[in-house]
Chain A
Amino acid sequence: MRKAIVSAVAVALAMSTAVRAETLRIEGSTTVGPIADAFAEYFKGVYPNLEITVNKNGSGNGATALIEGRCDIAAMSRFMEPQEFSKAVANKVYPVAWTIAMDGVCVVVHPSNPVKTLTSAQVREIYMGKITNWSQVGGSQTPIVVISRDSSSGTYETFETLIMKKQPMAQGVEYVNANPQAQARVRTTPGAIGYVGLGFLEGVKAVPIDGIAPTRQTVANGTYPLSRPLFLFTNGFPKLGSIPFKFVTFYLTEKGQDLIEAKDFVPMTNY
């Protein structure tokens, strides 16, 4: 036993002195995470010596990590807030935003729900608890089960800003952790309403908002009321031609846009 421990320590120390490759650390949003994953896998194939790590702890943590110098790129599903900016500047970090893709936050219901369309005012009133039955908005006589993302997610912030207009949500709203959970909850509950990203529409019905259905086109041109850009943030403008520069501008290439589409997001540009 003692021998084993000694040799384990020796191995660990020997390995720590080995040559280190170039690294790229990405931290942040669970929504942008899949894009970062796909980009990272592609970069790993192109630059075998590059070591990329991706961590998905939420947009807020991504911003903090960038400010504290714990990562090279922060992935965020919302823009940095003023206080985060001032903290960054105080820390001698200068955040530069790269808008890499668009995402639609889709309001979804159970596929058995006969509701054809909702206005953003109706959705707001449902989440405020003023409308409690689907029959009030042209549906069947079914009580509404309201599902929301937890308040630390970027998706929640988008929803709060664009739909709730800073009005508080009702007491009875059920909060879930992530897109897959919200989707699963709505898919299995006939009276449920929730909101998820564009990539999570299987088994649920996306309701048109103000008469506009969430599709790649309506999200790309911003006519769908719940469209939002997704960001990467770097500390300052990365050196031209460096790996971070290539990474944050990869969305401009055809390959990058293909990957964004394959992950069910909407590329910024049409090639």
Chain B
Amino acid sequence: MRNLHVRGQLDRVFTATTALSIVLLTLVLVAILGPMVYRGSSAVFFQGTVEFRKMQKNLFGRGNEQALNAEVAETDQLRRQVYQMIDGFKKGVDVEALSEQVREIYRQFGQELRDKNVPTGQYTKLRELTRRIRDKLETAFHSQDINEIKRAVAEVLKEADNPHLKGTSAEKFFALARQFLQAAGQIDLSKHQEYAAAVQEVEGILFHSDSLPGLLGPRPGEPPAPLTMLRYGATRWDQAQVLLDRFLWVDQWVQEKPGEPLVLKRRPRAELFPESLRPLFAYVEQNADKMLHPRRTIYWQFLIDDNINSHYFGGIGPEILGTMLITVVGMLFVIPLGIISAAYLVECASDGWTMRIIRMGINTLAGVPSIVFGLFGLAFFVLFLFPALGFEPKPCILAASMTLAVLTLPVMIRASEEAIRSVPASYKEGSLALGASRFHTFVAVTFPAALPGILTGVILSLSRIAGETAPILFTGAVSLGAVPHSVFDPTRTLSYGSYDMAVGDRLAMMVPHNQYGMVVTLVLLILILNGAAIVLRTRVFKKLRGH
């Protein structure tokens, strides 16, 4: 009686343990896949800004032109104020640019005089006068003494009424001088260089720097930046918020005590500038959403678009296509080869030394690291077999699929072998007794009965083929290339693409949504393929049981 009680308790403990482990497994899966799926889905679902819609229109020809133009006009209206504030401030700060401007006016005026065929004496006199103006202005620009600036500008402006200069390009001298005087009155002139550097950084964050995109994108009329990604501002609201934060705050590492690690201090960027530019920061902070128009966006074309600038823009269409192609071609090799080998091992081979060695070989093959298969594929398929058959020795889908097929064959053979072996002997005996040949028996009786088990092998090798990276590294994957036309072209794939993004460009860190998007797509693709195979298996199984 007591014994029975203990057994009952033990049973309950066993049930509880198994249930708990299932719960744990689910939790672990959720903990790993959850954040990944969440971040990956942000490649498709996000808050897209007007810059995103501009990019889609220009690069992919999508969207309503009229609506976009209206939106751009609306946002440009607000951005103009930003340009004005920065330009006004730079008038007093960017000494080199101002000097260059003055020299340009001087050259232009000289050209004008020559075009008008002014007599030589007059020409020399006016050239001399404008050169003096030019030099005076340059002295003023480089001066740090407001009185000296005032004096120099006053001397320049004395010439403003000179009848020979009226109505010529030389008038630009005076406009520039007045603007400069006004701007110079508002700032601490000893900080010229500091301000110039700070305002350049601000321009980098707002418009774009040499190598990084900015919040609003390039100013209208600017010559197009070398890389496509620099031609647009923040296309996503989450990116915009990061840039906005960088714009509003400066991170500084300060030494508080000697010999101790530095401490991070954040201070408003506005403090780096004199009063005259501070309104810019409040303005951008308040109007960022109106200048960018974030809107809920579903970018399903992520799944068909090609990428632009190393996955900065665009999607993963060619990668998905490449993965599917490699998988399908690989399965074309694995399935027949695997089933035939398994059939041979079960039906035809006798148990001898050779068989034991072959079986051991298959088992060992299943444990060989995948990179070894990659190198084998390169040496055998690409460099030996292709030239021998008269093909070009270059990596391609066919070579990659064959390499992957070799890699997954052991799995396929083992699963099929088990399945064929577990078909009851009575089935076969019945068939043979009816006079069927051994081949006919296998095709008509054993194979259909073993099909569910064989499909399990298919599922296992399918996931392996779709997800492997190392074997295709040298045999068929590229990080950049055209969409494949045939199985003799190399291709991009999801697995190699994920690896390439992680080790390659610094840009990948700026677009984690695309990185996660690619990984999640790979996981989902395998899930879908597996799901299809499982459904097929269930149907086969039901049919076998006569339902």
Query: A33 contacts which chain B residues (CB < 8 A)?
Result: 479, 504-505
- A53 touching B382, Cβ below 8 Å: no
Residues of A contacting B505 with CB < 8 Å? 33-34, 37, 263
Q: A8-B328, A262-B211 are in contact. Are A112 and B473 (CB under 8 A)?
A: no
Let me know if A180 and B393 touch, CB within 8 A.
no
User: Is the Cβ of A112 less than 8 Å from the Cβ of B480?
Assistant: no
Are B261 and A68 neighbours in the complex by a CB distance under 8 Å? Answer: no
Partner of B487, one of A12, A190, A202: A12
Taking the closest CB of chain B, its distance from the CB of A84, in whole angstroms, is 17
Rounded to whole angstroms, the CA-CA distance of A36 and B481 in the bound complex is: 12
Chain A residues closer than 8 Å to B503, beta-carbon distance: 30, 56, 177-181
A38 interfacial by beta-carbon distance below 8 Å: yes
Q: Is B2 among interface residues, defined by CB-CB distance under 8 A? A: no
A258 touches B (CB below 8 Å): yes
Segment 213-271 of A: residues with Cβ below 8 Å from B? 255, 258-259, 261-264
Q: Are the C-beta atoms of B480 and A111 separated by less than 8 Å?
A: no
Question: A70 contacts which chain B residues (CB < 8 A)?
Answer: 382, 393-395
A258 to B227, CA, bound (A): 9
CB nearest neighbor in B for A31: B504
Residues of B within 8 A of A18 (CB): 485-486
Partner of A53, one of B226, B262, B487, B490: B490
* Closest Cβ neighbor of A34 among chain B residues: B505
**Complex contacts, A181 vs chain B, CB 8 Å:** 502-503
Query: Which residues on the B side are within 8 Å of A262 (C-beta)?
Result: 210-211, 225-227, 230
Nearest to B383 among chain A residues (CB) is A68
- A69 contacts which chain B residues (CB < 8 A)? 393
Q: Hey, what's the 0/1 contact readout for B257-274 against A, CB within 8 Å counting as 1?
A: 001111110000000000
Binds B, one of A96-104, A134-142, A157-165, A167-175: A134-142
Q: Closest Cβ of chain B: how far from A111's Cβ, in Å?
A: 5
Q: Taking the nearest CB of chain A, how far is it from the CB of B432, in angstroms?
A: 27
- Is the CB–CB distance between B261 and A112 below 8 Å? yes
Please state if B474 and A57 are interface contacts (CB–CB under 8 Å).
yes
Given A16-B487, A54-B478, A259-B227, residue A135 in contact with residue B504 (CB < 8 A):
no
**Within 8 Å of chain A (Cβ to Cβ): is B329?**
yes
Query: Is A156's CB within 8 Å of the partner chain B?
Result: no
User: Is B123 at the interface (CB under 8 A from chain A)?
Assistant: no
In contact, B479 and A55 (Cβ under 8 angstroms) = yes
Interface of B is mostly: loop
CB of A129 within 8 A of chain B?
no
Whether A210 sits at the interface, judged by CB under 8 Å, is no
B residues less than 8 Å from A54 (CB atoms) = 478-481
Instruction: Please indicate the chain A residues that have their CB under 8 angstroms from the CB of B12 in the complex.
Output: none
CA–CA, A8 and B395, complex, Å = 21
* B506 is an interface residue with CB less than 8 A from chain A: yes
Q: Do B310 and A34 touch across chains, with their CB atoms under 8 A apart?
A: yes
Bound Cα distance A32, B125 (Å): 57
Interface residues on B, range: 35 or more
Known: A38-B227, A61-B474, A262-B227. A15 touches B485 (CB 8 A): yes
B211 touches A199 (CB 8 A): yes
A199 adjacent to B480 (CB under 8 Å) = no
Give the A interface residue count (CB, 8 A).
Answer: 56
The answer to whether A37 touches B310, judged by C-beta atoms less than 8 angstroms apart, is yes
Does B332 sit within 8 A of A, measured CB to CB?
A: yes
B477 interface residue per 8 A CB criterion: yes
Nearest chain A residue, comparing its CB with the CB of B310: A37
Q: Is B482 an interface residue (CB 8 A)?
A: yes
Q: Are the CB atoms of B253 and A112 closer together than 8 Å?
A: yes
State whether B329 touches A12 (Cβ < 8 A): yes
Choose one: B226, B255, B478; the contact of A259 (CB below 8 Å). B226
Q: Which residues of chain B from 225 to 265 have any CB-CB distance to chain A below 8 Å in the complex?
A: 225-228, 230, 253, 255, 259-264
Nearest Cβ on chain A to B227's Cβ, whole angstroms: 5
Tell me, yes or no, whether A114 is within 8 Å of chain B by CB: yes
- B341 vs chain A, min Cβ distance (A): 19
| B225 (CB) vs chain A CBs: closest residue | A262
Smallest CB-CB separation from A138: which chain B residue?
Answer: B259
Please indicate the chain A residues that have their CB under 8 angstroms from the CB of B211 in the complex: 199, 261-264
- A140 near B261 (CB under 8 angstroms)? yes
Q: Which of A1-54 contact B (CB under 8 A)?
A: 5, 8-9, 12, 15-18, 20, 25, 30, 33-34, 36-38, 40-41, 51-54
Q: Are A53 and B480 in contact (CB under 8 A)?
A: yes
* A113 interface contact, C-beta 8 A: yes
Q: A54-B479, A54-B481 are in contact. Are A180 and B262 (CB under 8 A)?
A: no
A94 within 8 A of B: no
Within 8 A of B (CB), among A105-128: 111-114
B308 beta carbon closer than 8 Å to chain A: yes
Task: Say yes or no: B485 contacts A261, CB within 8 Å.
Answer: no
Within 8 A of B (CB), among A183-211: 183-184, 190, 199-200, 202, 205
A199 cross-chain contacts in B, Cβ below 8 A: 211, 506
CB-CB nearest in chain A for B488:
A16
Residues of A contacting B262 in the complex (Cβ-Cβ under 8 angstroms): 111-114
Give bound CA distance, A111 to B264, whole Å: 9
Contact A180 B478 (CB under 8 A): no
Q: How far is the CA of A53 from the CA of B309 in the complex (A)?
A: 14
Q: How far is the CA of A114 from the CA of B255 in the complex (A)?
A: 7
Is B486 a contact partner of A16 (Cβ separation < 8 A)?
yes
Complex Cα distance, B486 from A18, in Å, reads 8
Give chain B residues whose Cβ lies under 8 Å from the Cβ of A51.
Answer: 481-482
A113 contacts B383, C-beta separation under 8 Å: no
A sample of 6 cross-chain residue pairs with beta-carbon separation below 8 angstroms, ordered by A number, consists of A33-B504, A55-B395, A68-B383, A140-B259, A202-B506, A259-B227
**6 nearest A-B residue pairs (beta carbon):** A16-B486, A53-B481, A178-B503, A258-B226, A54-B480, A53-B478
List 12 additional contacts besides A9-B332, A111-B253, A184-B509; criterion CB under 8 Å: A34-B505, A34-B507, A37-B309, A38-B226, A41-B228, A55-B477, A55-B490, A57-B474, A113-B261, A179-B503, A262-B211, A264-B211
